[in-house]
Amino acid sequence: MRVKKLSVFIETYGCQMNEYDSDRILNSLSGIPVNNPSDADVIIVNTCAIREKADHKATSALGRYKNLKKSNPNLLIGMTGCVAQLYGKKLIKQIPYLDFVVGPRSIPKLMNIVKDLKDSLDVKKIETSMDVQEVFEIHPYHKKDKVNGFVSIQQGCNKECAYCIVPTVRGKEINRSLEDILEESKLLINQGAKELTYIGQTVNSWKHNGERFHNLLDYLGKLGGLERIRFTTSFPRDVTSKMIDSMKNNPKICRQLHLPVQSGSNKVLKSMNRTYTIDWYRESIRKLREAMPDLSLSTDIIIGFSNETDEDFQETMKLIEDIRFDTVYSFKYSIRPGTLGEKMDVHVSDEIASDRLYKLQKKQKEISLENNIQHISKAYEVLVEGVSKNNSDDLFGRTTHNKVVNIRNLDRSFVGKMVNVKIKEAFQNSLIGEIY
């Protein structure tokens, strides 16, 4: 007898790891993705706990699906991801229509959980163990011929940054074996992926059986059929000369690096427990740019951490003006449960933090636009990903620098192809180009 496949609707919050996990959830359920929650047998909200706001968003998102149970009493509603891990049982107690809560490490167990629930609808399931045995077992769902995909090479994090909840909800660092990474890469390439982004919380600290991250990059460079390689997120202390050499010598590795600095002040970096100084960070950037002059850099910055003074903030402003990142993701500090930061008793007021955030974002918008204007009249190879979000007559893709380029008047048959594009116009977050 053929068993009907489950229709699954997943709403995803947070980082690329969560997007990847959502694709693994689909495969772990052997599910068919649906775009409309009312068509689903199972609805899952895959959550993010990085800041308090994200964490609230997750629980309120669930509320939107509550009424669907009236028209479909067999519907299962579940929460996965970091908020699920953080609050576990509490969620089941508080939210009566929630059927299951599953943490990031337990995704491989989802199929059994859902099967059990289908058998007896009045039961609730909670799975938040940090059991590591099968953590990398499930490959992600990949829509046929989708141009890009993610491959996780690491779970959890061994750093102890004072503000960060990730080690609490995703556990200690576990690195995936080289064989598994290559196997999953080949699987996605066979399904049509041309560009793969390798992900981990501190991706460049990857090591396994004596191999280090730069060795991994060398192996990935040899994968047939793969045109582009990206990786994120790198930890500044783990940028080595060998890693820079591997990037430089491998034309498939994109000229793009996301290197979160968090603050421009040594005092703040120390209280964040980031384990590097700002001079060290600047020196790494100098080496990277010396090796790859066109490298596009992006970073993350937290504003208003614990004892950040106006002077400290000015040092962060100076840093972004000196480095001129292409993109800066900046956030107001949010105290998270169980972190070292939670125990600190000095805090910047919300008003001051908002004011600093505004000033930083205003400056960065100018820099991003000025950087993008530099690309006008230049020609780049663009890997075409699909129909442009702004105009259905245009296609979009990205340059090696991870710049989104909307390409005018391009036939859809170019999706998945590398094309030569001349840049005509520049905005803060994207470019417009024409094929030539």
Q: Which residues bind ligand 5AD (CB under 6 A)?
A: 50-51, 163-164, 260, 262, 300, 302, 331, 333-334, 336
User: Which contacts of 248-253 are long-range, i.e. CB under 8 A and separated by 24 or more positions?
Assistant: 248/291, 248/292, 250/217, 250/218, 250/221, 252/220, 252/221, 252/226, 252/227, 252/228, 253/217, 253/221, 253/229
> 116 CB contacts (<8 Å, ≥6 apart)?
123, 125
| Beta carbon nearer to ligand 5AD, 164 or 247 | 164
Using only C-alpha atoms, what is the Rg of the chain? 22
Write the CA distances from 233 to 17, 32, 42, 74, 203, integer angstroms. 10, 30, 31, 40, 6
Residues 6+ away with beta carbon under 8 Å from 87: 101
* In the complex, minimum distance from the CB of residue 166 to ligand 5AD, in angstroms, rounded to a whole number: 7
Cβ nearer to ligand 5AD, comparing 100 with 305: 305
CB of 112 to ligand 5AD, least distance (A): 32
Q: Which helix (H) or strand (E) holds 350?
A: helix 350-373
Determine if the peptide bond prior to 59 is cis (ω within 30°).
no
Name the minimum Å distance from CB 127 to ligand 5AD. 25
Closer to ligand 5AD by CB, 225 or 338: give it.
Answer: 338
Residue 51 or 356: the one with the smaller Cβ distance to ligand 5AD is 51
Nearer to ligand 5AD, 164 or 382 (CB): 164
Q: For ligand 5AD, which is the closer residue by CB, 281 or 331?
A: 331
Complete edge-to-edge strand list for the sheet that includes strand 148-152: 148-152, 195-199, 228-232
CB of 98 to ligand 5AD, least distance (A): 25
CA angle 358, 361, 362 (to 5 degrees): 80
Least distance CB 332 / ligand 5AD (angstroms): 6
Shortest Å, Cβ 316 to ligand 5AD: 12
Decide whether 357 or 382 has the Cβ nearer to ligand 5AD. 357
Q: Which is nearer to ligand 5AD, 22 or 334 (CB)?
A: 334
Decide: residue 418, CB within 10 A, 0-12 exposed, 13-18 middle, 19+ buried: middle
Q: Which of 161, 202, 172, 169 is nearest to 344 (CA)?
A: 161
Least distance CB 56 / ligand 5AD (angstroms):
14
Beta bridge partners of 8: 33, 42
Q: How far apart are the first and last CA of the chain?
A: 55
For residue 178, count CB atoms less than 10 angstroms from its CB and return exposed for 0-12, middle for 13-18, buried for 19 or more: middle
Nearest distance from C-beta of residue 302 to ligand 5AD, angstroms: 5
If the CB atoms of residues 223 and 344 are measured against ligand 5AD, the closer one turns out to be: 344
Name the strand (E) or helix (H) holding 423.
Answer: strand 418-426
In the complex, minimum distance from the CB of residue 104 to ligand 5AD, in angstroms, rounded to a whole number: 15
**Which residue's C-beta sits nearest to ligand 5AD?**
300
